[in-house]
C-alpha cells in the first residue's frame, strides 16, 4: 500500500461529491421542467422528437400507463437490437463491417440483446472478434443510451410518486426518456468522448491495422469508433466493452488520468441523482442521508479491496515472489492488472463499477485475491444500492429506505411514515417483493447452473476448487443485478476463429443468463412503479414530534443495518463456499 | 396500447439514427480534426513503414528458424524466442502473445495451481532473459549479467504476473532497471545512457497521483536502435 494509493481513493470520493452536487441541481431542473442552460440548444430537437414520435409530453400517466410505455418501448428495442446483431453479415455495404464478421448465433445473440436492453452488458461475445462497427454503434451504443434512460426514468417516476401531492400521475415516460437522453446523457457523453480521444482513445472507422513489428513478427491491431462508445458505456453505467478486455485495453483506457476520469463518469449520475432526490423532496438532508449511507459503504469496500490486492495472492507467494512495494515496482497482486493503473487504480475501478450496475473492468476480477474478490461479491449482494446503476440505484435504495422506515416504525410502535405519507401493507408488500426478486433470481440460476452438467460446462478448466463455484455464482449474481462484470473464465461462447466463424454458444449459460437479466430488471421496475403508484395518491400529514426522522445519522445507521442484514441473510452461505473460503486460506487447489 | 406501439416503433428507429449514427459520426468528425494522431491509434512508423501503435504492447521476439524453415506451432502461429537486445514487455495471455486483434485476460484465480505454474514459468523466462549463458533445464545459470536478478524474490511483480489486456504497453521502472543490465551488456552501451532513455520514456501518474508510472517499451526500443552501439 502507498500513500498515493490511499490518496487516489479519497481524492476520488471528494472530486465525485464536488461534481455530483451541481449535476444533481441541474438534473432536478431537467425533470421538474425548469429552464436549463441547454434549452436554447436542445429545445428544438426535443420538440421535434415529440412530434415524430406522436407523443403529448404534457399528458401525465398513472403507474400502469407509465409501465406500459416503458415495457413496450423496451420490447421494441429488444427486437431491433436482436435483428441488427443477427443480420450483422448483411451490413457490409455500409463499410462499417471492415473485417466482414458473420452474424452471431441465436443463443449468444439472445444473451447479448437481453443484456444490453437491461443495462447489464454481459460479455459472452468478444468485442473485437465478433462485433462489426455497425453493430457496436447502431446496436450497442444506442441501448447504452436508452437502457440508461429507462433506469433514470423509473427513478424519477418513483420520486414523483413519493413527493406527489395530488392525483395519480407519475409524469410522462416519453418526456422523461427524451429529456434524459438529450439534456443529460448526450451532452456529457459528447464532451467525455472528446476528452478520451484527447487523452489517447481512438475514434475511427478504418480496417484493423496489419503490419510487421520491429522484430518482424506480424501484428494486427483492432480499430473502431471506441471513444464514442466508451463515454456512454461509463456514463450510462452500462459497461459492455468495445474490446474483449473492456477498460483494460489501452485504446479504451489509455492512462492513469483516463482511469480516474472514467470512474467519475460511472458514478457522476448515480451520485447526482441522490442529491437531485433531496432537492425534489424539498429537504436536501434526505439526499445527504442517503449519500452518506452509500458513500460510507463504498469507501469501506474500496479500502478492503485495496488492502487485499496490495497484500498479494497465495499463488504469488507460493512462487516465491515478493509482493511488497519496492522502488519502481507496484508490488501486490498484479496478475490480470495493468501497470499504468497499478493496484489502487485497479481495485478502486472495479469497486466503482461493481457498486454501480456498470460492470466495466480494467483488470481481471477472476484474478483478484479471495478477499479482494469478495468485495465485488458483497457489492452485488447489496443489490445495486451502493450508488447503483443510473436510476436503478436510486429506486432500489428508496425501496430499502421504505423497508428501513417500516422496521423503524415497528420498533417504536407507530404507523411508519415516510415524508408524511403512511407506509401501509400494500406498499410494504410491493417493496419486499421488489427487494427480494433479484437475490431470488441470482440464487435459483446459480443453483441450476452448478447442479447441471450443461451449466458446469461454462466453468473454465483452470478454475479448480472453490474458484469454479465463485465463477458460477458471480455470473448469475452479476446478471441478476444487471451489472455485467464477470469472473471472465466463465464462458457462454466458443469461437475457434474471429468473426463468429464456426462458433457455437453454450445454450444453458446463454439462455439462463438472458432470462435472469430480463426477469431481474423488469420485475423490480414494475414493483418500483407500483410502489410509486400506491404512494402517489396518498395524503401528506405534517410531521409531528413522534415522527421518525429520515435525514439524520441515526437513520443512516439503521439503513446500513437493513442493507447489510438483507444482503448477508440472503448471500452469506453462498459467499462462504466461494470467495470467503479462498480468502481465508493460502491453500492452492 | 396501440399508441404506445406506434410511438415505440418510430421512437426506436429515430433514436437509433440519433445515438447510433449521428452521435458517433459527430465524435469521429471532431476527433479526426482536433486529434487525428490519437484518433487513429498513435501509429508509429519506421523508415516510412507502419511498425506499431505507441500505446499497444508488442512481443519483441523473432521467429525461430530451423534448417531454413520458419517454425510454426500446430495452430499456425510462429514459434518465437525473445530478442535479447530489446526490452521485453509483460507476460500476455493472448494467442499469439501481445495480440491486439483478440485480447483476453489470463483469468487465473488467486488460489489455483494453474496460476502458480504460470507465475513460475514467467519467473523462469525472466531469469532466463538475464542469464548470460542459457538457463539449464534445472533453472541454473552459470554466468549472470552484472547485478542481474538471480532469484524469484528479486523479480518485479509486473514481470511475473500476466497483464490484464495482454497488450500492456508498459513495464515497471524496476523491471526496466533490471533489463537495462542485459541491454547495456549486449549492446555494448554505457548503462547510464540506457537508463537515460528509460527515464525519458517513463510516464508519470495521472495528475501526479492516479495510477502508476510505466516505461513505454516500444518507444524505448525504437530509441535504443537510434542510439547506436551493437544492434
Mean pLDDT calculated for residue range B11-18 = 97
| C-alpha span between A258 and A252 (Å, rounded) | 9
Q: Averaged in consecutive runs of 10 residues, what is the pLDDT profile of chain A (589 residues)? A: 94 97 97 93 96 93 96 97 95 92 94 96 92 96 97 96 86 96 97 97 96 94 97 95 95 97 97 96 94 96 97 95 90 96 96 94 95 94 90 94 93 87 93 94 95 92 90 95 93 87 89 96 96 91 82 94 93 91 89
Q: What is the pLDDT of residue A497?
A: 84
Mean pLDDT across chain B: 92
Q: What is the pLDDT of residue A495?
A: 87
- Any idea of the CA torsion for A97, A101, A104, A105, to the nearest 10 degrees? 150
DSSP 3-state of A491: coil
Cβ separation of A138 and B21 shorter than 8 Å?
Answer: yes
Cβ separation of A254 and B55 shorter than 8 Å?
Answer: yes
| C-alpha span between A163 and A308 (Å, rounded) | 43
- Cell, residue A64: 400502469
Q: Taking CB atoms and an 8 Å cutoff, what residues of chain A touch B9? A: 76
pTM of the full predicted structure? 0.96
**Mutation target vs B (from A217, A347, A491; most B CBs, 10 A cutoff):** A217
Task: Please name the member of B63, B206, B222 whose beta carbon is closest to the beta carbon of A217.
Answer: B63
**Mutation target vs B (from A336, A346, A470; most B CBs, 10 A cutoff):** A336
**Mutation target vs A (from B18, B107, B168, B201; most A CBs, 10 A cutoff):** B107
DSSP 3-state of B206: strand
Q: Which residues pair with B46 in a beta bridge?
A: B49
Scanning every residue of chain A, which has its alpha carbon at the shortest distance from the alpha carbon of B122?
Answer: A319
Q: What is the pLDDT of residue B142?
A: 74
- Per-residue pLDDT at B132 exceeds 80: no
User: Min CA distance, A139 vs chain B (Å)?
Assistant: 7
**Mutation target vs A (from B56, B86, B157; most A CBs, 10 A cutoff):** B157
- Note whether A442 and A476 are within 8 A (CB): yes
User: Min CA distance, B221 vs chain A (Å)?
Assistant: 9
- Any idea of the CA torsion for A26, A31, A34, A35, to the nearest 10 degrees? 60
Cα separation values, A342 from A338, A485, B214, Å: 6, 19, 10
Residue A257 makes CB contacts below 8 A (sequence gap 6+) with A199, B206, B207, B210, B211
Mean pLDDT calculated for residue range B125-135 = 83
| C-alpha span between A538 and B40 (Å, rounded) | 58
Task: Please name the member of A216, A318, A367 whose beta carbon is closest to the beta carbon of B109.
Answer: A367
What is the radius of gyration, based on Cα positions, of chain B?
23
B196-225 confidence digits (pLDDT tens): 999 999 999 999 999 999 999 999 999 999
Between B129 and B16, the more confident residue is B16
- Per-residue pLDDT at B1 exceeds 90: no
Task: Please name the member of B52, B164, B172 whose beta carbon is closest to the beta carbon of A329.
Answer: B172
- Per-residue pLDDT at B138 exceeds 80: no
- Per-residue pLDDT at B135 exceeds 80: no
Cβ separation of B39 and A249 shorter than 8 Å?
Answer: no
User: Min CA distance, B202 vs chain A (Å)?
Assistant: 11
Read off the pLDDT band of B106 (50, 70, 90): very high
- Dihedral over Cα of A418, A421, A423, A428: its sign: negative
CB A50: neighbour CB atoms within 10 A? 18
Q: Taking CB atoms and an 8 Å cutoff, what residues of chain B touch A126? A: 102, 104
| C-alpha span between B157 and B149 (Å, rounded) | 13
Cβ separation of B100 and A146 shorter than 8 Å?
Answer: no
> Rounded to 5, what percent of chain A is helix, strand, coil?
65, 5, 35
Cα separation values, A234 from A340, A359, A375, B162, B209, Å: 19, 9, 20, 25, 22
Cβ separation of A197 and B5 shorter than 8 Å?
Answer: no
Q: What is the pLDDT of residue B149?
A: 79
Amino acid at each position: 500500500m502507498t500513500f498515493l494509493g490511499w490518496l487516489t481513493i479519497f481524492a476520488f470520493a471528494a472530486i465525485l461529491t464536488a461534481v455530483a452536487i451541481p449535476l444533481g441541481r441541474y438534473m432536478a431542473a431537467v425533470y421538474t421542467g425548469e429552464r436549463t442552460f441547454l434549452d436554447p440548444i436542445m429545445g428544438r430537437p426535443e420538440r421535434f422528437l415529440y412530434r415524430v414520435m406522436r407523443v403529448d409530453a404534457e399528458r401525465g400517466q398513472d403507474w400502469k400507463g407509465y409501465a406500459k410505455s416503458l415495457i413496450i418501448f423496451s420490447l421494441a428495442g429488444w427486437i431491433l437490437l436482436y435483428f441488427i446483431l443477427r443480420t450483422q453479415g448483411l451490413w457490409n455495404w455500409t463499410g462499417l463491417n471492415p473485417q466482414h464478421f458473420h452474424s452471431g448465433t441465436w443463443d449468444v445473440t439472445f444473451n447479448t440483446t437481453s443484456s444490453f436492453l437491461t443495462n447489464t452488458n454481459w460479455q459472452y461475445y468478444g468485442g473485437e472478434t465478433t462485433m462489426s462497427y455497425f453493430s457496436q454503434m447502431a446496436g450497442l451504443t444506442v441501448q447504452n443510451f436508452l437502457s440508461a434512460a429507462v433506469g433514470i426514468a423509473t427513478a424519477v417516476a418513483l420520486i414523483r410518486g413519493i413527493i406527489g401531492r395530488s392525483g395519480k400521475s407519475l409524469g410522462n415516460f416519453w418526456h422523461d426518456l427524451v429529456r434524459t437522453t438529450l439534456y443529460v446523457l448526450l451532452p456529457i457523453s459528447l464532451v467525455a468522448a472528446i476528452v478520451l480521444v484527447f487523452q489517447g482513445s481512438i475514434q475511427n472507422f478504418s480496417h484493423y491495422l496489419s503490419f510487421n513489428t520491429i522484430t518482424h513478427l506480424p501484428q494486427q491491431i483492432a480499430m473502431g469508433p471506441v471513444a464514442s462508445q466508451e463515454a456512454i458505456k461509463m456514463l450510462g453505467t452500462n459497461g459492455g466493452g468495445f474490446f474483449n478486455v473492456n477498460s483494460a485495453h489501452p485504446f479504451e483506457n489509455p492512462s492513469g488520468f483516463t482511469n480516474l476520469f472514467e470512474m467519475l463518469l460511472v458514478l457522476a449520475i448515480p451520485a447526482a441523482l441522490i442529491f437531485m432526490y433531496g432537492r425534489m423532496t424539498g429537504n436536501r438532508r434526505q439526499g445527504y442521508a442517503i449519500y452518506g449511507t452509500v458513500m460510507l459503504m463504498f469507501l469501506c469496500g474500496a479500502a478492503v479491496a485495496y488492502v487485499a490486492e496490495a497484500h498479494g495472492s497465495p499463488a504469488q507467494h507460493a512462487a516465491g515472489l515478493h509482493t511488497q512495494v519496492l522502488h519502481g515496482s507496484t508490488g501486490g497482486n498484479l496478475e490480470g492488472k495493468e501497470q499504468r493503473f497499478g493496484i489502487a487504480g485497479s481495485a478502486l475501478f472495479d469497486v466503482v463499477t461493481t457498486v454501480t450496475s456498470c460492470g466495466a473492468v480494467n483488470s481481471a476480477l477472476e484474478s483478484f485475491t479471495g478477499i479482494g474478490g469478495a468485495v465485488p461479491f458483497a457489492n452485488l449482494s447489496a443489490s445495486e444500492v451502493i450508488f447503483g446503476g443510473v436510476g436503478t440505484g436510486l429506486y432500489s435504495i428508496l425501496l430499502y429506505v421504505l423497508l428501513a422506515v417500516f422496521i423503524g416504525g415497528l420498533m417504536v410502535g407507530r404507523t411508519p411514515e415516510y415524508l408524511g405519507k403512511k407506509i401501509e401493507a400494500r406498499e410494504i408488500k410491493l417493496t419486499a417483493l421488489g427487494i427480494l426478486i433479484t437475490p431470488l433470481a441470482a440464487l435459483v440460476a446459480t443453483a441450476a447452473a452448478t447442479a447441471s452438467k450443461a451449466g458446469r460446462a461454462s466453468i473454465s478448466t483452470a478454475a479448480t476448487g472453490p474458484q469454479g463455484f465463485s465463477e458460477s455464482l458471480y455470473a448469475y449474481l452479476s446478471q441478476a443485478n444487471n451489472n455485467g462484470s464477470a469472473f471472465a473464465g466463465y464462458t457462454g461462447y466458443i469461437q475457434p476463429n474471429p468473426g463468429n466463424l464456426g462458433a457455437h454458444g453454450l445454450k444453458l449459460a446463454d439462455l439462463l443468463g438472458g432470462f435472469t437479466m430480463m426477469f431481474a430488471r423488469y420485475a423490480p421496475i414494475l414493483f418500483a412503479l407500483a410502489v410509486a403508484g400506491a404512494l402517489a395518491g396518498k395524503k401528506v400529514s405534517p410531521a409531528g414530534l413522534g415522527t421518525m426522522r429520515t435525514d439524520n445519522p441515526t437513520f443512516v445507521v439503521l439503513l446500513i443495518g437493513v442493507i447489510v442484514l438483507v444482503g448477508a441473510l440472503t448471500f452469506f452461505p453462498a459467499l462462504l463456499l466461494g470467495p470467503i473460503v479462498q480468502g481465508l486460506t493460502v491453500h492452492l487447489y | 396500447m396501440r399508441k404506445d406501439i406506434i410511438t415505440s416503433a418510430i421512437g426506436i428507429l429515430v433514436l437509433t439514427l440519433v445515438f447510433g449514427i449521428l452521435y458517433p459520426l459527430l465524435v469521429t468528425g471532431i476527433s479526426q480534426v482536433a486529434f487525428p494522431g490519437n484518433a487513429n491509434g498513435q501509429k508509429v512508423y519506421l523508415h516510412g513503414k507502419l511498425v506499431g501503435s505507441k500505446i499497444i504492447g508488442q512481443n519483441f521476439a523473432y521467429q525461430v528458424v530451423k534448417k531454413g524453415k520458419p517454425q510454426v506451432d500446430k495452430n499456425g502461429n510462429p514459434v518465437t524466442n525473445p530478442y535479447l537486445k530489446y526490452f521485453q514487455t509483460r507476460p500476455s495471455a493472448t494467442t499469439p502473445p501481445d495480440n491486439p486483434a483478440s485480447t483476453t485476460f489470463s483469468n487465473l484465480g488467486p488460489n489455483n495451481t494453474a496460476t502458480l505454474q504460470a507465475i513460475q514459468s514467467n519467473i523462469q523466462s525472466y531469469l532466463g532473459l538475464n542469464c548470460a549463458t542459457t538457463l539449464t533445464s534445472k533453472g541454473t545459470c552459470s554466468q549472470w549479467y552484472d547485478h542481474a536478478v538471480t532469484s524469484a524474490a528479486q523479480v518485479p511483480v509486473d514481470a511475473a504476473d500476466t497483464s490484464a489486456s495482454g497488450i500492456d504497453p508498459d513495464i515497471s521502472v524496476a523491471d526496466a532497471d533490471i533489463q537495462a543490465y542485459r541491454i547495456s551488456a549486449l549492446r555494448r552501451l554505457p548503462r547510464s545512457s540506457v537508463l537515460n532513455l528509460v527515464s525519458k520514456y517513463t510516464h508519470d501518474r495521472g495528475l501526479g497521483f492516479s495510477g502508476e508510472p510505466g516505461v513505454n517499451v516500444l518507444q524505448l526500443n525504437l530509441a535504443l536502435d537510434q542510439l547506436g552501439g551493437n544492434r
